[in-house]
């Protein structure tokens, strides 16, 4: 055995534990999952027969699923915008010369350390008890009823909570990117008379393009997969009507899949939805990343 | 010195192991009795040395989901709760046969599969419309007359007109919201009123129809009107936003005359020290008289045949036959035991009322658990909420309900 071969063998051996773990917990369940989506599996014991694309056909005619799909897209678009705008603004704030900026940095980041379920329940209390009490005291109609019980405002509550939780995390990525921009470029611009706004739009944002790629990717996948806050804050409610059927007006895709599989005990159909969910999310992410990559520049 | 450290360390390890390891794992669905159950488990451990761990799912979280997750994770519980045929069919392969065990001698309410005894009745539970006797007396309403919907209509109207005088916020404390997770009250318990009220206990006419996608038109129409009546005399905020606690608080603090919940709320109710007499009136939604409340063992403990079977059965025997068990069921958990050897009577108001109706033989069956998985809470529940939102009127409600029921047969 030559030293090169030995080296290769060592590399393979070192990789082996990780590869085995990866195959066991990701690859095999994934293949099983795809397989079960073509059966009538109920979650206990084994399936009784293959049903082909029947599960997929059913989900495309199910109002609740189509509604969840549209709501997820709506939530994702709104949430990506609010999280990134808020994160960018506070990252500018905490990289400026203001006093106590380290305290702010920590403060904005802390909500991210709280688990989604806990956070959802805390905010549920705020929305259903505290805000209505305030609203009634100051006679403001919008607030005097719980925002969670109207289908027009429930999306707003989810975006608020998710932004509050997630903006601090995205802020850290922007802060790192802003600090990476060489001071000399900004100083040169200032000497040339560029205003604050111009420096942000013409120098900082283009030079931070790779941070946008990763931040948008993270918020896209995070919003699309939103589950914990959804279940704890709204539980999918309140009820609305879609295609003449009652649907849960804030039930996002992940929650819909979970309910199909566990509440209705319809594992195979839930699995079919999950496969579709994976395909859609993958396509969206690839489009987003390749678009953002094309905008990145080197300084 | 080294030896001492080793000794202390090993002692600490032993204690940790003792507290972590449990011989019997119980997965159950009653949030209200979790504390009482854990105390009883501790007592059992002290007396027998057998460790017991209690896992709870229920209330606003979904017990069946918790159980399925426990099963799927491979940490199968030794004892868990089934709520009827759906649960039994689902786990049939794992459930042990308990025919001839000591506890079976003292009850007629065990869950049977043919001649096999498979389920230990957790308790007998009942629900109707609980009422505040003081308020009814002040308004001059005799609760004994509340046996048909016309009597209810008149009573609700009268109470509604005297709200400020009686200090009421609403006549009926009722919940229907999906956000606080209360659709089981409407989609399961309230719907069961349609299924069984007025029928003999083993009569399955209406549930069989529903499972075939059909309803009895005239009866269903009256039922929908009754739902509308209950909702009309509650408040929209309570219906949509009310949690289990809020619903109870409104009644216990004298802000509502009626309360749509079962006697499982007793442990929480007595904590609020209601200062008035409480008892149940029937859910009489028909024009003709129906004098009875809805009583059933709502759930049964089953034992895992592949788990720690003998220890688990010994635990159940102790629960049913010992004085500690009786004390726990009646006094600590405020349940109405399904066992004839228990002579204690509950001191809490709702359970006491259930026991009285039960002793008088005026009861109707529970058949909501014969509905397919998720149907009551997930499919019917949202339609009740739409009615509560006033997004639809009662006629549309009736059409949508029928439409959803027709979907079962597909």
Sign of CA dihedral A94, A98, A103, A107: negative
Is the CB of A238 less than 8 angstroms away from the CB of B389? yes
Radius of gyration over every alpha carbon of chain B, rounded to an integer in angstroms: 23
Domain contains B355: no
Name which residue leads in pLDDT, B379 or A298: B379
**Cis omega before residue B319 (within 30°)?**
no
**How many H helices and E strands in chain A?**
16, 2
CB contact under 8 A, B179 and A262: no
Kindly state the tokens that stand for A241. Answer: 């009507």
Contact predicate A120/A231, CB 8 Å: yes
- Dump pLDDT digits (tens) for A216-242: 999 999 999 999 999 999 988 899 989
Q: Quick one: pLDDT at residue B20?
A: 45
Judgement on whether residues B51 and B186 belong to the same structural domain of the protein: no
Q: Is residue B17 scored above 60 in pLDDT?
A: no
Q: What is the mean pLDDT of residues A149-165?
A: 92
Comparing CA positions, the residue from B218, B238, B373, B352 lying closest to residue B293 is B352
pLDDT digit string, tens, across residues B129-177: 999 999 999 999 999 999 999 999 999 999 999 999 999 999 999 999 9
Q: What is the mean pLDDT of residues B192-199?
A: 95
Neighbours of B107 (CB within 10 A): 19
Same domain, B93 and B79: yes
Task: Give me chain A's average pLDDT, please.
Answer: 91
Over the stretch B60-91, which tens digit does the pLDDT of each residue have? 567 888 888 888 887 899 999 998 887 888 89
Residue B191 inside a domain? The answer is yes
Token code pair at residue A22 = 């990866």
Same domain for B32 and B139, yes or no, is no
B350 falls within a domain: no
pLDDT for B60? 56
Cα-based distances in Å from B322 to A137, B102, B165, B175, B340: 56, 11, 50, 38, 13
What is the pLDDT, as a whole number, of residue B7? 53
Q: What would the CATH number be for the domain defined by A64-253+282-295?
A: 1.10.3720.10
- In whole angstroms, what is the distance from residue B193 CA to residue B188 CA? 9
Least CB–CB distance from A128: residue in B65, B241, B385: B241
Indicate whether B134 and B148 sit together in one domain. Answer: yes
Q: Across the interface, which of A128, A241, A264 has its CB nearest the CB of B391? A: A241
Tens digits of residue pLDDT in A74-99: 999 999 999 999 999 999 999 988 88
- CA–CA gap between residue B21 and residue B17 (Å, rounded): 6
Q: Which of B178, B242, B402 to mutate to test the interface with A (most CBs of A within 10 A)?
A: B178
Please report whether residue B112 resides in a domain: yes
User: Total structural domains in chain B?
Assistant: 2
In this predicted structure, what is the pLDDT of residue B19?
44
Closest Cβ–Cβ partner in A145, A237, A240 for B179: A237
Specify whether B48 is located in the same domain as B111.
Answer: yes
- Separation in Å, CA B362 to CA A189, B119, B126, B307, B365: 88, 24, 11, 40, 10
* Rounded mean pLDDT, B365-375: 88
- Does residue B316 fall inside a structural domain? yes
Taking contacts as CB-CB distances below 8 angstroms, the residues of chain B near A44 are 71, 90-91, 93
Q: Does B180 share its domain with B265?
A: yes
**B389 touches B230 (CB < 8 A):** no
Tens of pLDDT, residues A180-195: 998 898 889 989 988 8
- For residues B98 and B224, state if they share a domain: no
What backbone phi and psi angles, to 5 degrees, belong to B80?
-140, 180
Neighbouring residues of B38: CB distance < 8 A, sequence distance ≥ 6: B54
Q: Could you tell me which of A271, A245, A279 has the C-alpha nearest to residue A55?
A: A271
Q: What is the CATH number of the domain that holds B276?
A: 3.40.190.10
DSSP β-ladder status, B293-296 and B363-364? parallel
- What is the token pair recorded at A198? 């111009």
Please report whether residue B241 resides in a domain.
Answer: yes
- In angstroms, the Cα distances linking B240 to A244, B209, B246 are 21, 30, 11
Give the DSSP H or E segment for B79: strand B79-82
Give the pLDDT confidence score for residue B364 in this predicted structure.
92
Is B240 in Cβ contact with A149 (below 8 Å)? yes
Tens digits of per-residue pLDDT, B113-140? 888 999 999 988 999 999 999 999 999 9
User: Which phi and psi angles does B118 have, rounded to 5°?
Assistant: -125, -20
Together in a domain, B219 and B112: no
**Residues of B with CB below 8 A from A133's CB?**
none
**Helix ranges (DSSP H) in A61-204:** 63-95, 101-109, 116-125, 131-137, 141-144, 154-180, 183-191, 196-198
CB of A63 less than 8 A from some CB of B: no
Whether residues B401 and B320 share a domain: the answer is no
Contacts of A240 in chain B (CB under 8 A): 391
* pLDDT reading at B15 higher than 50: no
Tokens in use for A29? 């369940």
A97 DSSP assignment: S
Q: Specify whether B184 is located in the same domain as B249.
A: yes
φ/ψ of A145, rounded to 5, equals: -110, 155
Domain boundaries, chain A: 1-31, 64-253+282-295
Residue B10 confidence class, pLDDT cut points 50, 70, 90: low
- Provide residues of B within 8 Å CB-CB of chain A: 62, 64-65, 68-69, 71-72, 90-91, 93, 177-181, 237, 240-241, 372-375, 377-378, 382-383, 385-386, 389, 391-392, 400, 404
| 3 state DSSP class of B35 | helix
Q: Is the pLDDT of residue A111 over 50?
A: yes
d(CA B251, CA B254): 5
Q: What are phi and psi of A114, to 5 degrees?
A: -85, 135
- Domain extent for B245: 126-296+363-409
Do residue B165 and residue B37 come from a single domain? Answer: no
Cα-flanking dihedrals φ and ψ of residue B61, to 5°?
Answer: -100, 165
Q: Which two tokens stand for residue B243?
A: 């949690």
The DSSP H or E segment spanning B301 is strand B300-303
User: Is the pLDDT reported for residue B302 higher than 80?
Assistant: yes
**B349 assigned to some structural domain:** no
Q: Are residues B142 and B155 in the same domain?
A: yes
Mean pLDDT along residues A273-296: 93
Hey, are the CB atoms on A240 and B391 less than 8 Å from each other? yes
User: To the nearest 5 percent, what fractions of chain A are helix, strand and coil?
Assistant: 75, 5, 20
Q: Is residue B357 part of a domain?
A: no
B51 three-state secondary structure: coil
Beta strand B256-259 with B170-173 is parallel
Length of chain B counted residue by residue? 410
Show the tokens assigned to A299: 């300084």
Higher-confidence residue: B149 or B203? B149
Q: What is the DSSP string of A163-193?
A: HHHHHHHHHHHHHHHHHHS-HHHHHHHHHTT
Kindly state the percentage of chain B with pLDDT values over 70: 94
Mean pLDDT of B253-274: 93
The set of residues, in sequence order, having a beta carbon less than 8 Å from that of B235 and lying 6+ positions away, is B169, B170
The confidence band for A45, taking pLDDT boundaries of 50, 70 and 90, is low
Helices marked H in B61-216: 63-72, 85-91, 133-138, 149-161, 163-166, 183-184, 191-196, 205-211
In whole angstroms, what is the distance from residue B260 CA to residue B242 CA?
Answer: 12
């Amino acid at each position: 055995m030559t030293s090169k071969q030995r080296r290769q063998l060592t590399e393979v051996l070192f990789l082996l534990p990780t590869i085995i773990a990866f195959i066991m917990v990701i690859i095999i369940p994934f293949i099983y999952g795809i397989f079960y989506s073509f059966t009538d599996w109920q979650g206990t014991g084994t399936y009784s027969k293959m049903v082909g694309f029947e599960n997929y056909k059913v989900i495309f005619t199910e109002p609740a699923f189509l509604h969840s799909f549209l709501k997820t897209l709506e939530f994702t678009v709104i949430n990506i915008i609010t999280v990134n705008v808020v994160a960018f603004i506070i990252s500018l704030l905490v990289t400026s010369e203001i006093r106590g900026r380290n305290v702010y940095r920590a403060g904005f980041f802390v909500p991210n350390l709280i688990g989604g379920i806990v956070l959802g329940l805390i905010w549920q209390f705020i929305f259903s008890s505290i805000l209505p009490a305030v609203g009634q005291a100051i006679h403001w109609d919008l607030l005097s009823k719980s925002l969670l019980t109207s289908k027009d405002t429930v999306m707003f509550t989810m975006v608020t909570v998710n932004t509050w939780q997630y903006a601090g995390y995205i802020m850290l990525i922007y802060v790192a990117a802003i600090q990476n921009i060489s001071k000399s470029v900004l100083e040169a611009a200032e000497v040339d008379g560029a205003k604050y706004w111009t420096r942000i739009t013409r120098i900082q944002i283009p030079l931070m393009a790779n941070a946008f790629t990763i931040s948008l990717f993270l918020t896209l996948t995070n919003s699309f997969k939103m589950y914990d806050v959804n279940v704890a804050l709204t539980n999918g409610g309140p009820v609305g009507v879609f295609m003449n059927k009652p649907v849960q007006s804030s039930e996002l895709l992940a929650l819909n899949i979970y309910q199909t599989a566990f509440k209705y005990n319809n594992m195979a159909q839930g699995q079919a939805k999950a496969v579709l969910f994976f395909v859609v999310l993958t396509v969206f992410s690839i489009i987003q990343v390749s678009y953002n990559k094309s905008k990145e520049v080197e300084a | 010195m080294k030896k001492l450290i080793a000794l202390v360390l090993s002692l600490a390890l032993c204690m940790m192991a003792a507290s972590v390891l449990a011989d019997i794992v119980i997965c159950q669905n009653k949030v209200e009795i979790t504390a009482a159950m854990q105390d009883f488990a501790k007592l059992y451990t002290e007396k027998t040395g057998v460790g017991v761990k209690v896992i709870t799912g229920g209330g606003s979280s979904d017990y069946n989901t918790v159980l399925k997750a426990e099963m799927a994770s491979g940490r199968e519980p030794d004892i868990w709760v089934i709520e009827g045929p759906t649960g039994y069919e689902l786990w049939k392969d794992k459930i042990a046969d308990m025919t001839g065990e000591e506890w079976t001698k003292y009850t007629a309410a065990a869950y049977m599969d043919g001649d096999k005894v498979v389920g230990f009745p957790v308790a007998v539970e009942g629900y109707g419309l609980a009422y505040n006797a003081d308020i009814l007396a002040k308004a001059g309403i005799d609760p004994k007359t509340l046996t048909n919907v016309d009597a209810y209509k008149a009573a609700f109207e009268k109470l509604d007109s005297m709200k400020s005088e009686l200090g009421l916020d609403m006549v009926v404390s009722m919940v229907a919201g999906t956000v606080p997770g209360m659709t089981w009250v409407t989609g399961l318990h309230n719907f069961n009123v349609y299924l069984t009220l007025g029928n003999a206990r083993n009569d399955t006419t209406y549930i069989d129809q529903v499972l075939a996608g059909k309803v009895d038109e005239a009866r269903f129409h009256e039922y929908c009107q009754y739902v509308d009546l209950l909702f009309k005399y509650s408040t929209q905020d309570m219906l949509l936003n009310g949690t289990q606690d809020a619903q109870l608080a409104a009644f216990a603090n004298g802000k509502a005359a009626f309360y749509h919940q079962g006697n499982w709320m007793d442990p929480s109710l007595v904590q609020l020290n209601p200062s008035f007499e409480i008892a149940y009136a029937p859910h009489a939604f028909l024009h003709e008289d129906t004098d009875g409340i809805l009583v059933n063992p709502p759930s049964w403990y089953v034992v895992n045949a592949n788990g720690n079977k003998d220890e688990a059965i010994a635990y159940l025997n102790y629960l049913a036959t010992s004085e500690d068990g009786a004390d726990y069921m009646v006094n600590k958990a405020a349940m109405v035991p399904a066992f004839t050897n228990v002579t204690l009577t509950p001191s809490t108001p709702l359970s006491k009322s259930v026991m009285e109706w039960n002793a008088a033989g005026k009861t109707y069956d529970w058949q909501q658990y014969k509905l397919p998985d998720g149907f009551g809470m997930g499919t019917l529940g949202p339609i009740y909420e739409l009615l509560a939102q006033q997004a639809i009127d009662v006629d549309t409600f009736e059409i949508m309900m029928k439409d959803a029921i027709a979907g079962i047969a597909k």
